[in-house]
Amino acid sequence: MKLEVGNFIKTVKNWRPRLQGLVGMDIGHRNIKGIKLSKRGNQVTLEKYYFTDMAMVFENFPEGRDPLQVIKALAEIHQLSGSPTATSLADDQVLNYDITLPPLPKSETKVAVEYEIGKISKTPEEDLVIDFWQAPRVPKSKEGNIQIRAFAAKRTVVEQHLETLRMAGLRPRSLESRMLANIEALRFNGYIRHDTQCVLADIGDRYTSIGFIRNGSLQACRAEETGMGTVNTTFRSRFGTDFATAEERKLQYNINKESSGGPENETLEEIYLRVLRTMKDSIEAHLENTLDARPESILLVGGGSRSPGIDIAISNLFRIPAVKANPFKNIQIYSGDKSGGDDEIGSLAPLMTTAVGLALRGIK
């Protein structure tokens, strides 16, 4: 979903911003990520990145999380006040629809789409923010109908999200779903092409979002309420482990290696298998309902994709390649005489995919 601040509606096809210094800001459940890119000739360069783990800031996380406080601090420290900003909604906050309509003038198509979505969602049209475009490379039916890909979010959710950025001193200029931003980042980096048939799994802290890509474009998206943050909360409740220690244990555990036993390893195995089972059920349900062919690959992003061996486990589970995607693959890290010795950005790369996709909107 891509929305113009003000009237909240603008189609993806026609939106081509020219915004200098655009900040891609991804406000996740646990982490806040920001990216600034620049373009010189054909080379895109990472100018700056911003990252804050709210579990390390707020002692009683997640109950006491305050994204506004963190974004305000980032804006003050890094002099971002007044910066044009591209941002995203979590995929569980965005509804996806495929609608079949007869050919209509543009103004009438908009009215028809809004009416259909209001009817399907059983929500008054004025309470929704809606965006849509004609599904690419989908031939017209024999009756001459066209296929519309539509996205909708509750207006209160959109306005609250944008107001958070404004209160932090930023100037929001676009809003879209996290999955669409992920696709933009991976398309730029060569993982997704016009003929790509794949699944994109964003394994986050609270949710795992699963996008189904056909002919290089998003066909559908599912947000499953299970993520790797379950490790941290479960370790805290069962063993009294703080978030930092639980995170360290999570990044040390390899699901493909034989467990040495013990309560912690058994808990890790339990949670990892739950996430994998949820992914499997979601993907198989989609394939069964749509009669789609099996995907060629599964692309992995998000903090959960950093887990050792998770790509091998997913590949073995589905018997197709699973790839940990790098959102900086075609982006030059550091410009001019800046040092390239900071390894933090490499370790954070899987969490930065959405922010990269958002920042790319300002240089295309």
Same domain, 244 and 166: no
Task: Indicate the SS3 state at residue 27.
Answer: strand
Same domain, 162 and 272: no
Count how many domains the chain has. Answer: 2
Same domain, 30 and 177: yes
Determine the Cα–Cα distance for residues 136 and 139; give it in Å rounded to an integer: 9
Residue 59 has pLDDT above 50, yes or no: yes
Specify the pLDDT at position 12.
Answer: 34
Bridge partners, residue 35, by sequence: 24, 49
Same domain, 317 and 331: no
Same domain, 66 and 160: yes
Looking at residue 78, which CATH number applies to its domain?
3.30.420.40
Is 12 inside any structural domain?
no
Q: For 67-80, what is each residue's pLDDT tens digit?
A: 999 999 999 999 99
Same domain, 278 and 258: yes
Same domain, 85 and 232: no
Same domain, 171 and 250: no
Q: For 268-285, what is each residue's pLDDT tens digit?
A: 999 999 999 999 999 999
Residue 238's closest CA among 273, 215, 260, 271?
271
Specify the pLDDT at position 3.
Answer: 45
DSSP string, 277-311: HHHHHHHHHHHHHHTPPPPSEEEEESGGGGSTTHH
Is 183 inside any structural domain?
yes
Query: pLDDT > 90: what percent of the chain?
Result: 68
Is 319 inside any structural domain?
yes
Same domain, 238 and 310: yes
- Domain encompassing residue 233: 224-323
